[in-house]
Structure 1
Amino acid sequence: MIETIRNAWKIPELRKKIIFTIFILLIYRLGNAIPVPYVDVSALANYFSQLSNTVLGLYNAMSGGAFAKATVFALSIQPYINASIIIQLLTIAIPALERLQKDGGEEGRKKIVSITRYTTVGIGLLQGFAYYMLLKNYSILTDTTIWAAIVVILSFAAGSAFLMWLGEQITEFGIGNGISIILFASIVSRVPGAVGSAATYVNLGTLNLGHIALILLGILVLVLIIVFISNSERRIPIQYAKRVVGRKMYGGQSSHLPLKLSMSGVMPIIFAQSIASLPATVAAFLPTPATGSFWSGFLKAIDTSSATYIIVYFLLIVAFSFFYATIQLNPIEVANNLKKNGGFIPGFRPGKPTADFIAKVLNKVTMFGGLYLGVVAIIPIILGSTVKVSSLAIGGTSVIIVVGVALETVKALEAQMLMRHYKGFLE
């Protein structure tokens, strides 16, 4: 990876793209330090110190700590991610959007991108309003007038829309996928704070050097597993029949259909964690139940470090993995495309037998990918319970995002360098 970055830096055009990406990230980090007006930041910090294991804690981690500080980028890119998922689901459910995506060409793609942008602004306004109500209900605002409400809500929504634009600029003029790069920067920015917290725990005696070594070993194992699975795929062999068109013969070559073992990425973990942490999040907004009561025992049973939570979390990850795999790849559509292009899978007739075989292989690959994501997600929770550090609960999600984005960015650099060193067919 370091060698790839060094070689890319030697190419003037790629060097400009790298510098542009770094400049955009500096703007993003600057926005993370600018608080929204009318917010008592110290009171907000005390409030969020009790919510590390809830959905709000997850949002805070994905925003690089900006959510707990109520900065202009507090909502981060969550509205854009949610809007992308919603539009993707609606594309399957609404025939007009499906036709626009499949048959609309470049113009159809631009329309879907515009719809996603407008949806992002709408979701940003809704989440900004929800965040404002949270601040108001817990007396964290210094001014509760209508004008203050408008300023706070519009600041949050404008920040999320501006981040979406920054991500698009990185994608077009920088290196890699802009949204992924911003998410990567958000998570990496918390590393110094995590190191400082670990030093504090060591000084207090909560952690010792053995615990630190165990955490580092666990992170190393996670990275190795993620890199191996990210580069693994199941290849289905495909043979194309020979065709004679005029005096030329086409086809006859062999190819393969690659199925990634981790096809859905980190999205099943994010969705599963949001749902599994929902009871703890709701409980954080309600009065603390009496010790020994039914609700006290219930909340203890669904705590984010309990066995019940871990089991439910694991099962939700596997379920969402199948859901996303179904959205991304339709075996019937793949079989029809192969049949139209004269391709077939050796040993299976075109049409329904081919679709059934692809569906069978896809289910096996998705099951393996879901189990892999589940194991990666629950290892930090178990490790955090072992060393008594609850902030490790979202470590699996963070490590998957960081490693995945790093691999994708390096591949993008290698592809651009290969394109510039390729001499073509003229020599």
Structure 2
Amino acid sequence: MASASDALASNISLSKFAQATELKKRLWFTLGALIIFRMLSYVPLPGIDATQLDLLTQQTQGGVLDFFNNFTGGALNRASVVALGVMPYITASIVVQLATSLSPQLNAIKKEGESGRKRLNQYTRYGTVALTAIQGWFIAVGLESFGAAQGLQAVIEPGMMFRIGAVISLVGGTLFLMWIGEQITSRGIGNGISLIIMAGIVARLPQTMVQLFESGRQGTIDPLRLILIILGVAALVLFICFMERAQRRILIQYPKRQTARGVQAERSHLPLKLNTAGVIPPIFASSLLLLPLTITQFAGNMTAGESAWGDFIINLNTYLRHGSPLYMTLYGAGIIFFSFFYTAVVFNPEETADNLKKYGGFIPGIRPGKNTETYFDYVLTRITVIGAAYLTLICLLPEYLIASMGVTFLMGGTSLLIVVNVTMDTVTQIQSHLLAHQYGDLIKKAKLKGRSR
């Protein structure tokens, strides 16, 4: 049954939106920050020949870098200063969160509250700089030798100065995007890092749709197959919306209290989302895969034909290309792992059970304390299995079907999941701001009436 707040939020009119000044400021700030991100994706690294690079990037089509390039809105193909996007930041945050779970010292810092969170964020930033520098160095070295077999050269003047300049530019670009993401989260609407990733995906959507329909016009794709792809994408969007709204509500009962209607027992529900981890597992899994594969892709181009090691790296990249069985196996395993890991991070059964016991709440038929904690853990494990299976299915099945049909369609399951999930989260936050604004107006009117009396 929908709550009163949900019903009120659904009835908010456009006139209320026009009156919400703070919300409009947040939306304009978010839009401006995303526009800056898109402008930066067209700023090339110093010393790059854009024309030669455009010809050479055709070699990596269909590989893992195409998947990475989709997340950055084409910035990688253009060798932009934000070519690495926010992926190093996400990878660093994964490492810090894993270390926090394994290290008692870092776990103690996490429990310090706001000060501990700031220290962990600082460690994440340090890790971002280190990872970006490592990836940036391999990208710079790989760009120098990129296209040597074809007699083309993407770098105008190869050498140490180009490498140092490229690394500094890439580190600065990633840190600037990280800062923009944090500013969007605090001063805008939605999660800034997720919105930046979504903006990169959506930016390539028009080009993808044009390519798809052009293939249908030229007869490369059968018209029936094209219609099936469009219907399949629409069905996936509806399925994602349904699964993201799905909840397991646990009945919570509180002791009987004296009210105006007599002695009554208060009841409420603790909602547990079927997909508690949200869009984090696919982003984390892809980030961990893209970190070494970006390095080996450019290292393979750099050492191709020079040694057995270079040939081994090229073969490894072939087996781990986007859509290959090995890649999809590792990607699916990463999604399942991070679904359970991140769910354990965001929901603590022991802490929730202790809070319920402190305020006198209990689950009917379950003893407070340890038994409640065990019950929470049991329910959470069961729904996380369903959530992890759902995420794996959404991310892998569409890409397998598209690969088997021979269609080049970059809006795969992972991209679609991120776009729909982030959009839903942003719309929910907009509704929350509108609802808070409406309640604020009601409170002001009530105060004015009280003063007039």
TM-score interval, smaller chain: 0.7 to 0.9
Tell me which residue corresponds to 1:226: 240
Q: Does 1:19 align with 2:28?
A: yes
2:274–2:386 CA contact under 8 A, matched in 1: yes
Map 1:268-347 onto structure 2 (within 5 A).
268-273=281-286, 285=300, 304-305=322-323, 310=328, 313-347=331-365
How much has 1:36 moved relative to structure 2? 0.7
How much has 1:83 moved relative to structure 2? 2.2
Aligned length: 415
For each residue in 1:184-243, what CA deviation from the matched residue of structure 2 results, as whole angstroms up to 9, or x when unmatched? Answer: 211110012112222442344212332321221111111101111111111222223469
Distance 1:418 1:253 in 2: 25
Query: What SS class does the counterpart of residue 185 from structure 2 fall into?
Result: helix
For each residue in 1:156-180, what CA deviation from the matched residue of structure 2 results, as whole angstroms up to 9, or x when unmatched? Answer: 1100111111122222222222222
Distance 1:30 1:298 in 2: 34
Query: What SS class does the counterpart of residue 368 from structure 2 fall into?
Result: coil
Tell me which residue corresponds to 1:372: 390
How much has 1:10 moved relative to structure 2? 4.4
Q: Does 1:66 align with 2:75?
A: yes
Equivalent residue for 2:377, pick from 346, 353, 359: 359
For each residue in 1:376-411, what CA deviation from the matched residue of structure 2 results, as whole angstroms up to 9, or x when unmatched? Answer: 11232133134311444x611111111111111111
Tell me which residue corresponds to 1:102: 111
Segments of 5+ residues of structure 2 without an aligned counterpart are 1-9, 147-152, 259-263, 306-311
Equivalent residue for 1:238, pick from 252, 260, 264: 252
Tell me which residue corresponds to 2:420: 403
1:54–1:278 CA contact under 8 A, matched in 2: no
1:277–1:304 CA contact under 8 A, matched in 2: no
Matched letter for residue 65 of structure 1: G
Distance 2:325 2:80 in 1: 35
Q: Percent identity?
A: 39
Distance 1:40 1:88 in 2: 40
Map 1:202-213 onto structure 2 (within 5 A).
202-213=216-227
Tell me which residue corresponds to 2:4: none
Distance 1:170 1:242 in 2: 44
Tell me which residue corresponds to 1:261: 274
How much has 1:110 moved relative to structure 2? 3.0
Tell me which residue corresponds to 2:188: 174
Matched letter for residue 414 of structure 1: Q
1:2 to 1:23, Cα distance in 2 relative to 1, 3 A: farther
Map 1:75-90 onto structure 2 (within 5 A).
75-90=84-99
Tell me which residue corresponds to 1:123: 131
2:16–2:438 CA contact under 8 A, matched in 1: no
Matched letter for residue 43 of structure 2: I
Matched letter for residue 385 of structure 1: A
Equivalent residue for 1:146, pick from 160, 172, 180: 160
1:314 to 1:151, Cα distance in 2 relative to 1, 3 A: closer
Distance 1:307 1:108 in 2: 41
For each residue in 1:310-355, what CA deviation from the matched residue of structure 2 results, as whole angstroms up to 9, or x when unmatched? Answer: 5564454333322332333332333333333333222122233222
Q: Which moved more, 1:205-214 or 1:74-83?
A: 205-214
Equivalent residue for 1:415, pick from 412, 432, 446: 432
Matched letter for residue 58 of structure 1: F
2:141–2:163 CA contact under 8 A, matched in 1: no
Equivalent residue for 2:207, pick from 175, 193, 208: 193
Distance 1:220 1:405 in 2: 17
For each residue in 1:107-161, what CA deviation from the matched residue of structure 2 results, as whole angstroms up to 9, or x when unmatched? Answer: 3333333333333223222222222122134253222222211111100110011
Segments of 5+ residues of structure 1 without an aligned counterpart are 245-250, 289-293
Q: Which moved more, 1:366-375 or 1:82-91?
A: 82-91
Query: What SS class does the counterpart of residue 67 from structure 1 fall into?
Result: coil
1:143 to 1:48, Cα distance in 2 relative to 1, 3 A: same
How much has 1:374 moved relative to structure 2? 1.4
Tell me which residue corresponds to 2:309: none
Q: Which moved more, 1:176-185 or 1:271-280?
A: 271-280
1:109 to 1:270, Cα distance in 2 relative to 1, 3 A: closer
Distance 1:160 1:2 in 2: 41
Query: What SS class does the counterpart of residue 257 from structure 1 fall into?
Result: strand
Matched letter for residue 238 of structure 1: I
Tell me which residue corresponds to 1:291: none
Query: What SS class does the counterpart of residue 253 from structure 1 fall into?
Result: strand
Matched letter for residue 59 of structure 1: F
Equivalent residue for 2:43, pick from 29, 34, 46: 34
1:24 to 1:402, Cα distance in 2 relative to 1, 3 A: same
Equivalent residue for 1:133, pick from 131, 141, 147: 141
For each residue in 1:42-80, what CA deviation from the matched residue of structure 2 results, as whole angstroms up to 9, or x when unmatched? Answer: 443344434344432222111011011111111111122
Distance 1:184 1:119 in 2: 23
1:6 to 1:124, Cα distance in 2 relative to 1, 3 A: farther
